[in-house]
Amino acid sequence: MTVTDAPAPSRRKLTTAKAMVEAIAQEMDRDPDVFVLGEDVGAYGGIFSSTTGLLDRFGPERIIDTPISETAFIGAAIGAAVEGMRPIVELMFVDFFGVCMDQIYNHMAKIHFESGGNVRVPMVLTTAVGGGYSDGAQHSQCLWGTFAHLPGMKIVVPSTPADAKGLMVSAIRDDNPVVYMFHKGVMGLPWMAKNPRSLAPVPEEEYEVPIGKASVVRSGRDVTIVTLSLSVHRALDVADELAADGVECEVVDLRSLVPLDTDTILESVGRTGRLLVVDEDYLSYGLSGEVIARVAERDPALLTVPPVRVCVPDVPIPYARSLEYAVLPTADRIRDGVRRLVGA
Amino acid sequence: MDAQARRDLYRMMVLIRTFEEAILREYHADKKPVFDIGAGAIPGEMHLSAGQEPVAAGVCAHLTTDDAVTATHRPHHLAIAHGVDLRRMAAEIFGRVDGLGRGRGGHMHLFDPDTHFSCSGIIAEGYPPAVGQALAFHRRGTDRVAVAVTGEGAANQGGFHESLNLASLWKLPVVFVVEDNDWGISVPRSASTCVTSNAVRAAGYDMPGERVEENSVEAVHEAAGRAVARARAGEGPSLLEVHTLRLWGHFEGDAQAYRTDLEGVPGRDPIPTYEQQLRADGVLGDEDVRAARQDAGERVEDAIAFARKSAEPAPESATEYVFA
Ligand SMILES: Cc1ncc(C[n+]2csc(CCOP(=O)(O)OP(=O)(O)O)c2C)c(N)n1
Ligand SMILES: [Mg+2]
């Protein structure tokens, strides 16, 4: 069964990681062209549990551990996709994009265009993003703005287990390259501090969550918080807390960056007149500026007060906890942002 | 090799192991009962080098702090053997203001201009900068050398091969070292690498390649001596692979369920092996062993105490040091 957008309610709870794996397994059962490759995706099950159990179920022909040769194996996934297979290829941390970005943006993202639409590249590039556990400047970035800036790849960023499953199904079935970015902090890993929202109901059957559709995860009349990934969890926590003070936040989980659901953002800002963008990526030249530009382009009068951004200032993610938490979009910073907007 | 030089190699390995054991203790001390990677005085990933001491001690014995060393995500043994200050290194691992990087870098990002030591968490990416350091040494007419170290997993990365070609083309004083500990996280060498020895790859870049099959500090010392001498003499780069041992997990918290060779691992610890050899040769006695351990213990505990006393960086300073 294929449900679109509104899966049947379920009481079975899964972590985001398990929901992601379930989607891959169900698609692999359905479609023999789907296979997985990447570093430590086999016996280890993915450093962040994105492929746990798949090797036992599907064997080493379809769950392939690669050498540490990202250019070669991501390029190989592109080639296989061009020939009609549907590879899921993992870049262990998005921070490692530097050693393989040519295959990603000059090939994966451009082949369809350069071929005048004659060659399709139906593949999923999964990658772990985000900080918060002192992994330092080369293992803690989000960088979705960098990818979203480059035309030709869809970008999805789930924050909940149910969306993680539905977006994975959609990504695998999509005829375009889809970059699937999962924050380590939403995966529900036993060895990392986590928000309770990383364990939630997930329907057992297969369903798609449409790519390019944001989700209003909380309604509120006063402030629109546009955000994504782990920051959705934090924004919801802050919204619940501020509701006690009579400030009602509406939280928009973007879920997809490419395409970006501008309409949902505009509708919400139209209701609240106040916009806060919360982004764990760098401040300048990125997602937060893009969201505000889209509003300003359509109708700057929607905003009754200037918009506020809570992002990582333009500094690499520091190692020391005291410094890292000074630059991450913490609950404190989100709360301050909302207060500034409502003048409290 | 004379008796004193052999004892020095032994003492260096003991110092390294003592440091790693102390970091192991401090790292896990406040992550109980439930392991949380982001908790405690030392948060984050922790890649320790136990078992790989022969490489660091054997290679760095040929260097002075004027020579450069670039290391990997598993850098402590090389930093110590190259003479990086233990206190400032420990403080960086604790993320404190007196650390090598004032708490900005962390354990995978140790930069010490005093000893020309650096490392990177991106696989194989320490190789290209070593080529450039060698270029600078060469241009300035010195006989200084650059030593670049990676794991065997990294030898399948583009940066590795490009660096070999460039260093050979320009005949630069680089010693490329590969620490083959059989594993790249969970992937055994047999599943990642099409050749049984990376030494054979050197031929493709017109440089000498040597593989030391034993995890023996003296065997490493001897082979590294040839490579360093060649570089110092202006004859160009060499590649040296050492078949070493990952005594512990890839990182702390790694259950190693994938590891098929675990049973034999403790018996392959290179330090007791070397100790027995030196005792048998009459070069090392009880008193030497006791003194080596005591001295290492004192230096390491002093470094840990220094790190613990150092202040945490002020949150207001988080955006500093992006630019000069
Ligand atoms: C470009 C890049 N890809 C992947 C990783 C993740 N990673 C960190 S350590 C490691 C294994 C390295 O194996 P090896 O080179 O043999 O070194 P060892 O850990 O055994 O010392 C991997 C895959 C990384 N840091 N950088
Ligand atoms: Mg290795």
Residues A95 and A138 occupy one common structural domain = yes
Looking at the domain assignment, is residue A131 inside a domain?
yes
Residues A223 and A270 occupy one common structural domain = yes
pLDDT of residue B250: 98
Domain encompassing residue A118: 13-201
Residues A48 and A166 occupy one common structural domain = yes
Looking at the domain assignment, is residue B323 inside a domain?
no
Interface test with B, best of A49, A68, A133 (most B CBs within 10 A): A68
Compute φ and ψ for A225, nearest 5 degrees.
Answer: -105, 110
Q: Is A215 helix (H, G, I), strand (E, B) or coil?
A: strand
Cα atoms in the 13 Å half-sphere on the side-chain side of B80: 33
Residues A50 and A150 occupy one common structural domain = yes
The answer to whether residue A3 scores a pLDDT higher than 50 is: no
Give the pLDDT mean for B98-122.
98
Residues A194 and A272 occupy one common structural domain = no
Strands A249-253 and A215-218: antiparallel
- Per-residue pLDDT tens over the stretch A50-67: 999 999 999 999 999 999
Residues A38 and A144 occupy one common structural domain = yes
Q: In this structure, what token pair is assigned to residue A53? A: 């159990």
Residues A221 and A144 occupy one common structural domain = no
pLDDT, mean over chain A: 97
Give the pLDDT mean for A139-162.
98
List C-alpha distances in Å: B161 to A67, A313, B131, B158, B179.
14, 36, 12, 5, 16
Contacts of A39 in chain B (CB under 8 A): 184-185, 187
The answer to whether residue A73 scores a pLDDT higher than 50 is: yes
Looking at the domain assignment, is residue B205 inside a domain?
yes
Percent of chain A at pLDDT exceeding 70: 97
Q: Provide the strand spans (E) within chain A.
A: 3-4, 13-15, 34-38, 63-65, 86-93, 124-129, 154-156, 178-183, 199-201, 207-208, 215-218, 223-227, 249-253, 256-258, 275-282, 308-312
Residues A153 and A30 occupy one common structural domain = yes
Residues A195 and A219 occupy one common structural domain = no
**What is the domain count for chain B?**
1
Overall pTM surpassing 0.95 (yes/no):
yes
Domain encompassing residue B287: 3-311
pLDDT of residue A10: 79
The answer to whether residue A2 scores a pLDDT higher than 60 is: no
Cα atoms in the 13 Å half-sphere on the side-chain side of B204: 11
Looking at the domain assignment, is residue A129 inside a domain?
yes
Give the pLDDT mean for A207-214.
98
Looking at the domain assignment, is residue A96 inside a domain?
yes
Out of A155, A177, A201, a domain closes at A201
Whether the CB of B184 sits within 6 Å of ligand 1: yes
Residue B160 pLDDT grade (very low, low, confident, very high; cuts 50, 70, 90): very high
Whether the CB of A325 sits within 6 Å of ligand 1: no
Looking at the domain assignment, is residue B318 inside a domain?
no
- Is B74 at the interface with chain A, CB within 8 A? no
Looking at the domain assignment, is residue B320 inside a domain?
no
Strands B183-184 and B187-188: antiparallel
The answer to whether residue B2 scores a pLDDT higher than 70 is: yes
**What is the domain count for chain A?**
2
CATH label of the domain that carries residue A248? 3.40.50.920
CA B181 to ligand 2 centroid distance, Å? 5
User: What distance in Å separates the CA atoms of residue B85 and residue B73, rounded to the nearest whole number?
Assistant: 18
Out of A201, A230, A259, a domain closes at A201
CA B121 to ligand 1 centroid distance, Å? 8
pLDDT of residue A8: 66
**For residues A256 and A211, is the Cβ–Cβ distance under 8 A?**
yes
| Closest by Cα among B110, B86, B101 to B302 | B86
* Radius of gyration for the alpha carbons in chain B, expressed in angstroms and rounded: 19
Looking at the domain assignment, is residue A209 inside a domain?
no
Looking at the domain assignment, is residue B322 inside a domain?
no
ipTM here: 0.97
Residues A29 and A143 occupy one common structural domain = yes
CATH label of the domain that carries residue A127? 3.40.50.970
Compute φ and ψ for A160, nearest 5 degrees.
Answer: -120, 160
A112 is catalytic: no
Residues A47 and A176 occupy one common structural domain = yes
- Per-residue pLDDT tens over the stretch A16-35: 999 999 999 999 999 999 99
The answer to whether residue B208 scores a pLDDT higher than 90 is: yes
Looking at the domain assignment, is residue A130 inside a domain?
yes
| Mutational test site, ligand 1, from B47, B108, B120, B123, max ligand atoms within 8 Å of CB | B123
Out of A160, A178, A201, a domain closes at A201
Residues A196 and A169 occupy one common structural domain = yes
| Residues A39, B184: C-beta atoms closer than 8 Å | yes
CATH label of the domain that carries residue B178? 3.40.50.970
| Closest by Cα among A174, A158, A156 to A257 | A156
